[in-house]
């Protein structure tokens, strides 16, 4: 397979990276477990990419604590989040690191056959996945997975990334006094005039393209 790390971005006047914003996504809680400790994070990159057997692709930023756990253990669960999911759930899973917090503490959750947690609230289905192959990209690990368990939990509507931005995320950034660049996803402010192109939000791990100038 081609080594994605050697790909060079070509200058092409027809390349407008904001076109990527038109892609539609859902939102998912990805859970994993290592050495008796659960971890959880939010991902928008979960897709079915094959059938018979069903194959799911889950892409996780390398900067996330979960990326290493999933690579080492070869296991993960995906909970499909619904429109009832409160902003606090996204803060809990997405805006802190499992390195120093127990993200599942105080939550209602179940355990699937593989002993990983899955959400029983604000989720309409979960999948237990087994990693069959890992594709390395410069920024992400792409896990190609088979499905070991798939369960419907409710008929509530799945939340989309667009719905999250329009109806769940608070409208105003947390801080309006600082100068610099604000992360449109979590509200973190990077102070300074310049934002490096390879910058990654230290809170939610989103790239520089998700920042806007204050």
Q: What residues line the site for Fe ion (CB under 5 A)?
A: 183, 185-186, 188, 201, 203-204, 206
Task: Report yes or no: 112 and 33 within 8 Å, Cβ to Cβ.
Answer: no
Q: Which is nearer to Fe ion, 62 or 71 (CB)?
A: 62
Q: Which is nearer to Fe ion, 41 or 116 (CB)?
A: 41
Say how many Å lie between the first and final Cα of the chain, rounded: 42
- To the nearest whole angstrom, how small is the minimum distance from the Cβ of residue 202 to Fe ion? 8
- To the nearest whole angstrom, how small is the minimum distance from the Cβ of residue 210 to Fe ion? 7
- To the nearest whole angstrom, how small is the minimum distance from the Cβ of residue 42 to Fe ion? 11
- To the nearest whole angstrom, how small is the minimum distance from the Cβ of residue 150 to Fe ion? 31
The helix or strand, by DSSP H or E, that contains position 75, with its residue range, turns out to be strand 75-81
Alpha carbon 55 to its chain centroid, in Å, reads: 18
- To the nearest whole angstrom, how small is the minimum distance from the Cβ of residue 96 to Fe ion? 11
Q: Which is nearer to Fe ion, 109 or 211 (CB)?
A: 211
φ, ψ of residue 92 to 5 degrees: the values are -60, -45
Task: Report yes or no: 54 and 95 within 8 Å, Cβ to Cβ.
Answer: no
The span from the CA of 82 to the CA of 168, in Å, is: 11
Q: Which is nearer to Fe ion, 73 or 209 (CB)?
A: 209
Classified as helix, coil or strand, 48 is strand
Place of tokens 């989309």: 160
Q: Which is nearer to Fe ion, 40 or 131 (CB)?
A: 40
């Amino acid at each position: 397979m081609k080594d994605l790390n050697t790909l060079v971005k070509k200058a092409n006047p027809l390349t407008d990276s904001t076109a990527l914003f038109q892609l539609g996504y859902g939102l998912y809680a990805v859970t994993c477990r290592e050495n008796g400790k659960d971890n959880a994070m939010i991902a928008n990159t979960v897709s079915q990419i094959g059938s018979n057997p069903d194959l799911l692709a889950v892409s996780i930023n390398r900067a996330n604590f979960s990326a290493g756990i999933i690579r080492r253990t070869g296991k993960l669960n995906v909970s499909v989040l619904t429109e009832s999911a409160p902003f606090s759930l996204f803060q809990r899973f997405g805006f802190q690191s499992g390195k120093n917090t127990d993200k599942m503490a105080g939550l209602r959750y179940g355990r699937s056959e593989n002993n990983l947690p899955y959400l029983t609230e604000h989720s309409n289905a979960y999948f237990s996945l087994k990693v069959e192959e890992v594709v390395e990209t410069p920024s992400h690990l792409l896990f190609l997975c088979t499905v070991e368990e798939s369960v419907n939990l409710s008929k509530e509507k799945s939340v989309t990334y667009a719905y999250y931005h329009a109806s769940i995320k608070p409208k105003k950034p947390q801080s309006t006094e600082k100068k610099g660049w604000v992360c449109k996803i979590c509200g973190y402010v990077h102070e300074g005039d310049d934002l490096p192109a390879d910058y990654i939000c230290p809170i939610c791990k989103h790239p520089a393209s998700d920042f806007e100038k204050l």
